[in-house]
Structure 1
Amino acid sequence: MTEFLDTLNSYIWSNALIYLCLAAGVYFSVRSRFVQVRQFKEMIRLMLKGEKSPSGVSSFQALTMSLAGRVGTGNIAGVATAIAFGGPGALFWMWTVAFLGASTSFVECTLGQIYKTRDRITGEYRGGPAYYLSRAMAHTKAAPLFKVYGLIFAAVTVLACGLLLPSVQSNSMASAMNQSWGVSKWVVGVCTVILLAFVIIGGVKRIAAFASIVVPFMAVVYIALAMVIVIANADALPGVLKLIFESAFGLDAGFGAIVGAAVMWGVKRGIYSNEAGQGTGPHAAAAAEVSHPAKQGLVQAFAVYVDTLFICSATGFLILSTGAYRVYEGESATGAVLAEGGALPADVEVGPTFAQVGFDTLWQGAGSSFIAVSLAFFCLTTIIAYYYMAETNLRFILGKAAPVPVPLIRGTVGGNATILLQALILGSVVSGAVSTATEAWTLGDIGVGLMAWLNIIGIIILQQPAYKALRDYEKQKKQGLDPIFDPIPLGIVGAKFWETRDPVTGKERMAVPTPVE
């Protein structure tokens, strides 16, 4: 089975997907006139100012929900893995994919808002790739094809977010706690399941409330303490920067043979971390209450910066400036050691231990505990976000058979399916906690890769409404207005939710029933 999964992963994460991710980012950046640069100030303004309603969360809560999915083990263990198998240059390619991916995130998240809907039972806003894939072309002859495409994406997302991806998070969390405090991995898995069950049963509102408190706090604390370590090793920074850029382009003789691996691991771990193009961000984006879809598209583009340029960079500089790294040949820990910083013990496992050792260089004994606590919060919020996305896509597949989340309607198709999904993700958490890191990461990479293939191809085809929304938003801003979205004059078809909004006030027209599904 391990050999089969490795082979499958190698096909999914071939050079074709790497080139597709980079090319899509370049294309979306050019088409949007580098919206990720032009609208940077607007991203920050919108992040701090937003609306919410009984049906939708605020822009900031939607951002934190999105970050809950983005900020996880990829920001610590993922960066360490990228450096170990791709060299320090992998960090440069993570920056590259983040910068380009911000435009990709804008497109997919704006589409998520345009084609969102109101859940027919809970009243909450829901959306994502499955929704825009099935709706954007609903008025064309290709409608049946895209309906099937949407169902395929939904099924893959349920599989990825419900089974494959949670195991990576729980594995890193359990490994860090076992390394730091000797806690049994089984205990970590069971305790995580108990906490997870309490939050996910509460629905999107409880998920948003939990994420809006935990994610910003832990992100700020982690970045601040990592920067303290980096500043304490400021004399090493010039050498670190030189190492990163020489390794990224094979200018250093020691890394010349693995320059391809630097690109591969930088892009792979970059997408795993910031999720731009993977199709996860649009789920949180669709849950937001905004007057114009472009608003949330801009906020979600900023989330990519927060994840990779801030948190991943903090981890990368922490590891490299303290010498807590080791680079292996052949993209495997069994390969020959090409380079190392000298701070790692001989038998250390590739993963969060790199960051733990880095912290210990300044706060001896405290590093392991801090990384373990950070991973506990980051991974828990990520697993919660995964459940929300898996549930959203399950409800899309079930349609009218989708049940009321609490209490569950047992004995019905929808009720049984929801119970099965909850059991699936809880089981994945426990099995991931006690499995090996290699097995967990292989499953996670397969899940990310499958979603990325389907979503990026989809948004390349469906991108036009996102640009129309952006131009409309910028036009209204120049007129001194608070932009309000009306899809009809823009020629955007299938945005049924927005068609019921008053184009003057942005509020729902009470005389027209709100479309629900």
Structure 2
Amino acid sequence: MEFLEALFGYINDLTWGWALIPILVVFGVFITIMSGFVQLEFFARMFRVLWGGDKNADPNSISARAALLVSVGGRVGGGNIAGVAVAITLGGPGAVFWMWLIALVGMATSLIECTLAQVYKRVDSNGAFRGGPAFYILHGLGRRYQWLAIVYAICLLASFGLGFNAFQGNTVAGAVQEALGIDRVITGGFLTIVTAFVVFGGIQRIAKAADVVVPIMALAYLGLAVLVIIMNIADVPAVFNRIIQSAFGFDQAVAGGMGAAIAQGLRRGLFSNEAGLGSAPNVAATALVRHPVSQGITQSLSVFIDTILICSCTAFIILLGDVYVAGAEGIDGVVLTQQSLASHYGEWSKFGLTFAILLFSFSSIIYNTYLGENALSAITKSKMAVNVLRVAILGIVFLGAAAPNATSVFFFSDPLMGVLAVVNLVAILMLFPVAMRVVDDFRAQLKNGVERPVLDPNNFKDLDIDHEAWDKARWT
């Protein structure tokens, strides 16, 4: 065990330790510039999915809006509540500015990776879509890279499907025990039963659950933050000034100054919105859309919602309160957010935050479970294997909730997420010319007056595209 811990610690140092975050940032800037700032070009179109959508003829289809909500539910989690607090504690208020900046860059990365997921998606035996990095590696780069697709799938299955679900169960049980005094075993049992009902219904039921849970949790949390801002409206300009001053090192109250702000802001922003990690494309591929770029644009909105909106909510709750003191030690993470919220609303608000954590974690669990299933589908087509995985995940969720120390077993999660991010970035870089061909096709149709561009697979005969997936009969 000590050997394995040392090995994965070394992998973690090689990825997250010093190399991966700068690479993700540089890569995001590269995509932004080379695509012509595509995230800004299509920014207005992103919001159409919230109140529009296709009336699809295919009963097995997942709408663009449903795929967006599943993705938002996965991205928005404990990092939006505890992670932002840690970033502010270690990097000062300026970390928030750098989180905003990395979100802007990440929107372009997410658009490109999710567009590729749509291009190379496949129709499975149930008539639903499967796709993601493992699929665009296999069908975009060719069979000679099949080993790379399998490496990616294994890392995705182990990190998101198994490890992170244990941590989410632990987060929920800990928050409920702290706020309500309910035993971890009871919370774990309840969470496991509800999760089982959703995940055994497949992606359709996961999408339906997300359609209910995600809007409630996002709007409720946004509502809390907006009320905090209104109650402290006179202090808002000072908070913005504090963020900017700290971001560029003019506020020296935090050790490390500008460097600490940049490091913490970029790290927490990337961990939160997952742009470039290759997780969101697995869900993006499930949507039935007329053109791959349409879902790429939609998933870019997911990054905006996660970091610009939800993470900013936590930041303003903390910075407009009187609990956080720059440079002080002792209070960080979810406790800082809880106490800051209580400073605005009173002690009762801790219960509201506990409910938010429950919803955030539950949505992440069902999202992570689907990622695990999708990774498994790239390795084997066995339905028995999928059911075994679902049962195993339920056991892991319960174990993580009931026995908090059990999460130490999943020390491999972060290092493997680093590996899958490296693999995904290599694949995107190699397939970037293909992505830009598809984006240019979308642009050309808009320029010619086509309000809703449609992909014609015959215009891309050199690509390994599943023509059945782009049959117009599915959405007409």
Structure-2-length-normalised TM-score: 0.92
Distance in structure 1 (CA, Å) of the matches to 2:153 and 2:241: 43
Secondary structure of the equivalent of 2:328?
A: strand
Q: Which residue of 1 aligns with 2:283?
A: 284
1:200–1:24 Cα change, 3 Å: same
Q: Which residue of 2 aligns with 1:378?
A: 360
Q: Kindly state the Cα deviation for residue 251 of structure 1 after the two structures are TM-superposed.
A: 2.3
Greater relative CO (CA pairs within 8 A, separation 6+): 2
1:479–1:47 Cα change, 3 Å: farther
Q: Over residues 393-414 of structure 1, what are the superposed CA-to-partner deviations in whole Å (9 max), with x where a residue is unaligned? A: 1011004xx21xxxxxxxxxxx
Q: Which residue of 2 aligns with 1:217?
A: 216
Distance in structure 2 (CA, Å) of the matches to 1:154 and 1:73: 24
Distance in structure 2 (CA, Å) of the matches to 1:439 and 1:92: 32
Q: Does 1:463 find its partner at 2:463?
A: no
Secondary structure of the equivalent of 1:106?
A: helix
Q: Over residues 359-388 of structure 1, what are the superposed CA-to-partner deviations in whole Å (9 max), with x where a residue is unaligned? A: 211221222101100111111011001001
Secondary structure of the equivalent of 1:194?
A: helix
Q: 1:421 aligns with which of 386, 389, 394?
A: 389
Amino acid corresponding to residue 264 of structure 2 in structure 1: W
Q: 2:38 aligns with which of 32, 35, 39?
A: 35
Q: Does 1:305 find its partner at 2:304?
A: yes
Could you tell me whether the CA contact under 8 Å between 2:251 and 2:257 is conserved in 1? no
Gaps of 5+ in 2: none
Q: Which residue of 2 aligns with 1:366?
A: 348
Q: 1:26 aligns with which of 21, 25, 29?
A: 29
Matches within 5 A, 1:98-117: 98-117=103-122
Could you tell me whether the CA contact under 8 Å between 1:134 and 1:147 is conserved in 2? yes
Q: Does 1:339 find its partner at 2:328?
A: yes
Q: Kindly state the Cα deviation for residue 232 of structure 1 after the two structures are TM-superposed.
A: 1.5
Q: Kindly state the Cα deviation for residue 451 of structure 1 after the two structures are TM-superposed.
A: 2.5
Q: Which runs of 4+ in 1 moved over 4 A?
A: 5-8, 436-444
Q: Does 1:12 find its partner at 2:15?
A: yes
Q: Kindly state the Cα deviation for residue 254 of structure 1 after the two structures are TM-superposed.
A: 2.5
1:491–1:266 Cα change, 3 Å: farther
Distance in structure 2 (CA, Å) of the matches to 1:432 and 1:67: 23
Q: Does 1:493 find its partner at 2:475?
A: no
Could you tell me whether the CA contact under 8 Å between 1:319 and 1:354 is conserved in 2? yes
Matches within 5 A, 1:498-513: 501=470, 506-507=472-473
Q: Over residues 108-129 of structure 1, what are the superposed CA-to-partner deviations in whole Å (9 max), with x where a residue is unaligned? A: 0000100001112x22111111
1:445–1:267 Cα change, 3 Å: farther
Gaps of 5+ in 1: 328-337, 341-345, 404-414, 510-517
Q: Kindly state the Cα deviation for residue 488 of structure 1 after the two structures are TM-superposed.
A: 3.2
Q: Kindly state the Cα deviation for residue 261 of structure 1 after the two structures are TM-superposed.
A: 3.5
Q: Which residue of 2 aligns with 1:357?
A: 339
Q: Which residue of 1 aligns with 2:317?
A: 318
1:16–1:494 Cα change, 3 Å: same
Distance in structure 1 (CA, Å) of the matches to 2:413 and 2:88: 18
Q: Does 1:135 find its partner at 2:136?
A: no
Q: Does 1:261 find its partner at 2:260?
A: yes
Greater shift in the superposed pair: 188-197 or 382-391: 188-197
Q: Does 1:118 find its partner at 2:123?
A: yes
Matches within 5 A, 1:11-90: 11-51=14-54, 52=56, 53-90=58-95
Amino acid corresponding to residue 98 of structure 2 in structure 1: W
More helix by share: 2
Q: Kindly state the Cα deviation for residue 446 of structure 1 after the two structures are TM-superposed.
A: 3.1
**Over aligned residue pairs, what C-alpha RMSD do you find?**
2.5
1:425–1:260 Cα change, 3 Å: farther
Could you tell me whether the CA contact under 8 Å between 2:111 and 2:299 is conserved in 1? yes
Secondary structure of the equivalent of 2:277?
A: coil
Greater shift in the superposed pair: 374-383 or 72-81: 72-81
Q: Kindly state the Cα deviation for residue 439 of structure 1 after the two structures are TM-superposed.
A: 5.1
Q: Kindly state the Cα deviation for residue 323 of structure 1 after the two structures are TM-superposed.
A: 3.0
Q: Which residue of 2 aligns with 1:407?
A: none
1:6–1:241 Cα change, 3 Å: farther
1:104–1:115 Cα change, 3 Å: same
Greater shift in the superposed pair: 6-15 or 287-296: 6-15
Distance in structure 1 (CA, Å) of the matches to 2:243 and 2:413: 26
Could you tell me whether the CA contact under 8 Å between 1:240 and 1:321 is conserved in 2? yes
Distance in structure 1 (CA, Å) of the matches to 2:308 and 2:447: 30
Amino acid corresponding to residue 418 of structure 1 in structure 2: V
Q: Kindly state the Cα deviation for residue 37 of structure 1 after the two structures are TM-superposed.
A: 0.9
Amino acid corresponding to residue 328 of structure 2 in structure 1: A
1:93–1:102 Cα change, 3 Å: same
1:267–1:492 Cα change, 3 Å: farther
Structure-1-length-normalised TM-score: 0.85
Could you tell me whether the CA contact under 8 Å between 1:176 and 1:353 is conserved in 2? no
Q: Which residue of 1 aligns with 2:374?
A: 392
State the number of aligned residues. Answer: 469
Secondary structure of the equivalent of 1:136?
A: helix
